[in-house]
Structure 1
Amino acid sequence: MAGGGFSKLPNGKVVVALTLPRPVTGSGTVRVLVLAGNRARALTRLRNLGLRAVYLRGNAEPPTPDEITAVLHHPDGLLWRTTPECLEELWMPIRALLRPPRPPAHAGAG
């Protein structure tokens, strides 16, 4: 279901990068980065968050050096941003992707 790939780090950990349909809204795609002990554990982390149909077949779209740096410097080791990449857009924690969108505020309410 996903385009993606992985890079093995010198310390033995793996960074997996996947391009997935955007959860919740279903419109567009997102690039998700996961730092884990191995590829299977990275996919398990995503499945445990509710992204059930996540698979990695091949290594066609491995993480870039910038993506690896981003995920290594994040405390959760799990990030996303919309695709195609916009240089002004920052990487965000995965919980921001999985929560439902807020309804618009009503003008003049109160």
Structure 2
Amino acid sequence: MAGGGFARLPDGSVVVALSLAGPPDGGVRPGERVRVLVHAANRQRALTRLRNLGLRAVYLRGNSHPPTLDEITAVLHHPDGVVWRSAPDDDTESWHPIARLMRPAPAT
């Protein structure tokens, strides 16, 4: 799934969903795409949160793939408000905290 989108919540905040290439030293295989969800007061703050975490080239153009209801529930129930998973279409994979994506993969 490529692209991203957002959903405005009744309280005025938004959930932004983006499909991004995983960082080379992150917890994913090289070249693998990840679905990242961010809860913030508005779209710009959601993107700023990701940029502050080191994902510099993050942009939201359009609303082609907004978050699903399950994705919105997942990010709202996480204390950090930023989660990801590598297989967006696989409901058996859990959502992970963003810190797990940003730390280097363990050496093998």
TM-score, normalization by structure 1: 0.89
Asked if 1:51 is matched to 2:62, the reply is no
Q: CA deviation at 1:27?
A: 1.8
**1:107 equivalent in structure 2:** none
**1:69 equivalent in structure 2:** 73
Q: CA deviation at 1:86?
A: 1.7
* Greater radius of gyration (CA): 1
Check the 8 A contact 1:20/1:32 in 2, yes or no: yes
| Pairing of 1:1-110 with structure 2 (within 5 A) | 3-25=3-25, 26-104=30-108
Identity of aligned residues (%): 65
SS of corresponding position for 1:83: coil
Kindly provide the CA deviation profile for residues 19-67 of structure 1, in whole angstroms up to 9, marking residues without a partner as x: 0001124421000000000000000000000000000000000000000
Opposite residue 24 of structure 1, the aligned amino acid is P
Q: Distance in 2 between matches of 1:21 and 1:12?
A: 29
Opposite residue 44 of structure 1, the aligned amino acid is T
Opposite residue 12 of structure 2, the aligned amino acid is G
**Which consecutive aligned stretches of 4+ in structure 1 deviate over 2 angstroms post-superposition?**
none
Q: Distance in 2 between matches of 1:45 and 1:84?
A: 21
Say which is worse superposed, 21-30 or 31-40, in terms of deviation: 21-30
- Number of equivalences: 103
TM-score, normalization by structure 2: 0.91
Root-mean-square deviation over aligned CA pairs:
1.2
Check the 8 A contact 2:87/2:93 in 1, yes or no: no
Opposite residue 17 of structure 2, the aligned amino acid is A
Opposite residue 76 of structure 1, the aligned amino acid is D
Consecutive unaligned residues of structure 1, counting only runs of 5 or more, are: 105-110
